[in-house]
Chains A and B, each alone.
Chain A
Amino acid sequence: MMAALMVSCAESEFLNEGDFFYLKYKGADMPVWVKGNPNSDVMIITLHGGPGDAGMSFTINRGFELLEKDYLMVYWDQRFSGMTQGHYDHSLMTPDQFIEDTEKIVDLVLQKYPGKSFFLMGHSWGGQLAAGYLGRNNHQDAFRGWIDLNGAIYGELESQLMKEWILDRVPAKLVEPDSDIEFWQWIVDYYEENPAPGNYSAYEPYFYVSALRGDAYNWEETLNVNPIPYNTLVFKSMFTFSYYVYGFGHQKDMEKWDVLDYTPELGNITIPSLMLWGADDGVVPPGVADYVYENLATAPTDKKVVKIPECGHAPFWDQPERFFEEVSLFVENYK
C-alpha cells in the first residue's frame, strides 16, 4: 500500500506539466492540455484523427516532443473520443457537431492565451475537420497557418485512391515466395464485390493497408523511435481505461462521415498551408495532398506539399525528425 502511494505521488509529466483544463459543452467534458515551451509566442492547436482517437496520445511520440521544445502545443480530445467525459446524446455524433466543438475549443484557447501566433494542425480525420472548420465563418482569420497531416477531405475520392494504392501492391504480394495467396486473393475478391466501399464505414481496407505497411511504414522501427511508456501511462497519468473505449463502432454513424466532401470549404481557405504527408501513406494516399493543394484558395507561394519518403500515415511517428523540421520551417516562416 505504501509503495502504491509512493508511486502515485511521484513526478510525472502527464500529471504535472503544462496547463490542463476541461471545456464543458453540450454534455461533453473535453480535456485540453497545453504544454511545451512556455516562452513561445507560437501556439499550435492540434485536431486528432479517427474520429474516435485521442489528442492526448500525440504527447507520447517523438515528433511532438520535439515541437514542444520550441512551441506551445494544444492537445484535446473530441467528444466520444479519448478521455472525454460527460453524458451526451448519440444524436450529437455528427461532423457538424465536431466543427462546432472545435470552434468552442479554439475560442477558449484564444481567450485564455491572447497575443500568440496560432497555427492549426490536423491529422487524418483531424485534417478534414480542420478544413471544415477553417473554411467556414471566417474561422481562418485567427490563424497564421494550417498544417494538414495526411488529412482526409473528400471520402469518395479517398476511398478510390486507397483502393488503387492497395490493388497496385497486391499482385507483387501474390507472387512472393511463400506468399499467403489466400489472404491476398481475398483482397482482390473484396474489391470485386465492393467496388466503392465507404471511406469510414468499411473497416476491411484499413486492415489491408496495415498488412501492406501503409499505416505505419515500419512498425518495429517506429516503436524503437517512439517507445510507449506503458507503466507511466497506466499508473502515473491522466489516462484512464476509457481511452480504450471506442465510441465509433456503429456503421450507421460512420456513414455520416463517408459522404463528407469539404472541397467547397477548401475554396474559402486562403491562409498559408502545408500539406505534410507520408509518401507511403495508404490510409489517406498522397494523391489527396495534391487534391487539397489544387483546391485550396491559398496563393501558390503560400502553400506547399511535402511528401516524406519511408513514411506512412503518421509522419510524427515514422519520421519524427523530418516532421519536426518541416513543421518548424513552416511555422518560422509564417509566425
Chain B
Amino acid sequence: MKKFVIITLVLVAAAMTSKAQTNIRLGGGYFGKTLTYPGVVLDVELEEQVSEKQSMVLRMDLGYFVHKRAFHGLFMDVGYGFRRIFKSGLYLEQLIGVGGLQTFLNADEVYEAGPDGTIKTGNRWGNLDFSPSFQPGVGFHFPGKSSVWIRPKLFWQIPHKTSSAYNVALQVGYSVKL
C-alpha cells in the first residue's frame, strides 16, 4: 500500500507540473467482471494534451461489482498512460494502474471456526488485495464536452493462494469534460 501511495503521488505530481493543456473529465459506467458479473465504475481523469493527436492520461477509478457466490469487490486504482486521438474524435488509449481491491464474501451465510472447536456466524469481510491493472481502451469525443468509451481491464489480486489471481472486466461508460 505504501508503494501504491508513492506511485500515485509521483504520477499526480508529474501531471500537475506539466505546462501542456489539461482537461479534466468525470465519467461513469457499467463494470462487468468477466462481462456478466455486474458493477459500476466512476472515474476522474486528468488529460495532458501533448499535441493535437496525443495526450497523457492520469485516471482514478472507483468501482464496485458483485460476483454471486464468490465476492463483492470494492476497488480504487490510479492508472497512467497514453492516448492517441484521431481527427474524427475516435481515440485509443493504454493505461497501466495500481490500486487496491477490498473483497467481501458473497454467499448465503458465512461461518467462522475457532481453534477451540466453536463455530459461529462470521463476518463477510474478505481481504484487501494489491491490485495492479492493465487497461487498453477505445473511445469517442463528441463535439462539445462528452465522450463514450469501452475499456477492457485485466486486474490482479495479490496475494492469492501462493501467488496471485487475475480477473478480467469490460467497462462501458460516458464522460463529461469539466
Name A's B-contacting residues (CB within 8 A): 1, 4-5, 7-8, 14-15, 19-25, 29, 31, 80-81, 83-87, 90, 93, 104, 107-108, 111, 234-242, 245-250
On chain B, the residues within 8 Å of A84 by CB distance are 161
In the complex, per-residue mask of B152-178: 1 if CB is within 8 Å of any chain A CB, else 0: 000001011111111110101000000
Can you list 27 A-B contacts with CB-CB less than 8 angstroms, sorted by A residue number? A4-B30, A5-B38, A7-B35, A8-B38, A15-B69, A20-B107, A20-B108, A21-B108, A22-B105, A24-B112, A24-B122, A29-B110, A86-B127, A104-B113, A104-B119, A236-B36, A237-B69, A240-B70, A240-B165, A240-B167, A241-B166, A241-B167, A242-B161, A245-B165, A246-B161, A247-B162, A249-B163
Picked from B36, B109, B161, the residue with its CB within 8 Å of the CB of A21 is B109
What are the 6 A-B residue pairs with the smallest beta carbon separation, nearest first? A238-B69, A247-B161, A8-B36, A104-B113, A242-B165, A21-B109
Q: Are A25 and B113 in contact (CB under 8 A)?
A: yes
CA distance A328 to B119 in the complex (A): 31
Determine the residue in chain A with the shortest Cβ distance to B118: A107
On chain B, the residues within 8 Å of A250 by CB distance are 162
On chain B, the residues within 8 Å of A245 by CB distance are 160-161, 163-166
Name B's A-contacting residues (CB within 8 A): 30, 32, 34-38, 67-71, 103, 105, 107-113, 117, 119, 122, 126-127, 157, 159-168, 170, 172
On chain A, the residues within 8 Å of B107 by CB distance are 20-22, 31
Determine the residue in chain A with the shortest Cβ distance to B66: A8
Tell me if A's interface is mostly helix, strand, loop or mixed: mixed
Q: A83-B70, A108-B113 are in contact. List 15 more A-B contacts (CB 8 A).
A: A8-B32, A8-B38, A20-B69, A21-B107, A23-B122, A84-B161, A85-B103, A87-B127, A90-B162, A104-B113, A240-B70, A241-B165, A242-B160, A242-B165, A247-B161
On chain B, the residues within 8 Å of A238 by CB distance are 67-70
On chain A, the residues within 8 Å of B71 by CB distance are 85
Determine the residue in chain B with the shortest Cβ distance to A80: B161
Q: Are B127 and A19 in contact (CB under 8 A)?
A: no
CA distance A85 to B170 in the complex (A): 23
Shortest distance from the beta carbon of B131 to any chain A beta carbon, whole Å: 14
On chain B, the residues within 8 Å of A23 by CB distance are 110-113, 119, 122
Q: Are B161 and A235 in contact (CB under 8 A)?
A: no
Q: Are B167 and A249 in contact (CB under 8 A)?
A: no
On chain A, the residues within 8 Å of B170 by CB distance are 4
CA distance A93 to B163 in the complex (A): 14
On chain B, the residues within 8 Å of A83 by CB distance are 70
Q: Are B168 and A19 in contact (CB under 8 A)?
A: no
On chain B, the residues within 8 Å of A234 by CB distance are 34
Determine the residue in chain A with the shortest Cβ distance to B69: A238
On chain A, the residues within 8 Å of B167 by CB distance are 240-241
Shortest distance from the beta carbon of B103 to any chain A beta carbon, whole Å: 7
Interface centre among B36, B108, B122, B127 (most CB of A within 10 A): B36
CA distance A242 to B170 in the complex (A): 18
Q: Known contacts being A14-B69, A85-B71, A107-B119, is A24 close to B110, with CB within 8 Å?
A: yes
On chain A, the residues within 8 Å of B166 by CB distance are 241, 245
Interface centre among B126, B161, B167, B170 (most CB of A within 10 A): B161
On chain B, the residues within 8 Å of A7 by CB distance are 35-36
Shortest distance from the beta carbon of A328 to any chain B beta carbon, whole Å: 28
On chain A, the residues within 8 Å of B34 by CB distance are 234-235, 240-241
Determine the residue in chain A with the shortest Cβ distance to B162: A247
Determine the residue in chain A with the shortest Cβ distance to B103: A85
Determine the residue in chain B with the shortest Cβ distance to A23: B111
Q: Are B111 and A24 in contact (CB under 8 A)?
A: yes
CA distance A90 to B157 in the complex (A): 17
Q: Are A4 and B110 in contact (CB under 8 A)?
A: no
Determine the residue in chain A with the shortest Cβ distance to B32: A4
